[in-house]
């Protein structure tokens, strides 16, 4: 099997993902109405495990310190040096620490090619006028 040939750390992530996919099933079979929060959180946990596994196999390219600074400078210039709190948060997530959004975007692109970007946008971009959403920009 191909899975057995993967590095141990990746196999552990895949096993964890399979656990999380199976986990909500018991509750669904025992109950007359599904516990949607538990199912959602289990699938989300499985997704995070898979994102980490892809990140181990094909790490996200990292910007050098000077590349990060150049992008931050450009970001600030585009706003004429006037940044809102939201701008600062966007800058941090885009250039300093992409967090799960950046990692998931990368993993989806690795797995699905050009379609991965559309999937990431669908999962993480805010609808117009929404607040409290994370945005991302892939370098």
Domain final residue, candidates 57, 80, 102: 57
Contact in structure between 56 and 9 (CB atoms under 8 Å): yes
| Pair 40, 69 in one domain | no
| Pair 107, 70 in one domain | yes
pLDDT (0 to 100) of residue 26: 59
pLDDT at 138 over 90: no
Structure-model confidence comparison of residues 34 and 118, the more confident one: 118
| Pair 73, 103 in one domain | yes
Share of the chain above pLDDT 70, in %: 81
Q: Which two tokens stand for residue 132?
A: 């409290």
pLDDT (0 to 100) of residue 115: 92
Look over the chain and give the mean of its residue pLDDT values, rounded to a whole number.
83
| Pair 107, 81 in one domain | yes
Does the pTM exceed 0.75?
Answer: no
C-alpha dist (Å) from residue 78 to 55, 124, 139: 31, 23, 16
Q: What confidence category does residue 137 fall into, taking pLDDT thresholds of 50, 70 and 90? A: very low
Q: What confidence category does residue 99 fall into, taking pLDDT thresholds of 50, 70 and 90? A: confident
On whether residue 136 sits in a domain, the answer given is no
| Pair 72, 120 in one domain | yes
Query: How many angstroms separate the CA atoms of 106 and 113, rounded?
Result: 10
pLDDT (0 to 100) of residue 139: 42
- For the chain, the distance separating the N- and C-terminal CA atoms, rounded to the nearest angstrom, is 35
Q: What share of the chain is helix, strand, coil (3-state, %, to 5)?
A: 70, 0, 30
| Pair 13, 52 in one domain | yes
Q: What is the tally of structural domains in the chain?
A: 2
Could you tell me the residue range of the domain that residue 19 belongs to? Answer: 3-57
On whether residue 132 sits in a domain, the answer given is no
């Amino acid at each position: 099997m191909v899975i057995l040939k993967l590095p141990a750390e990746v196999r552990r992530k895949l096993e964890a993902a399979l656990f999380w996919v199976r986990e909500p099933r018991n509750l669904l079979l025992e109950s007359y109405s599904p516990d949607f929060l538990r199912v959602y959180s289990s699938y989300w946990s499985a997704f995070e495990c898979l994102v980490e596994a892809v990140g181990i196999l094909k790490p996200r390219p990292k910007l050098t310190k000077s590349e990060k600074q150049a992008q931050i400078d450009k970001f600030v210039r585009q706003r004429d040096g006037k940044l809102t709190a939201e701008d600062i948060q966007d800058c941090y997530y885009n250039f300093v620490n992409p967090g799960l959004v950046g990692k998931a975007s990368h993993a989806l692109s690795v797995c699905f090619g050009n379609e991965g970007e559309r999937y990431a946008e669908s999962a993480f971009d805010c609808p117009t006028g929404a607040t409290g959403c994370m945005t991302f920009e892939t370098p």
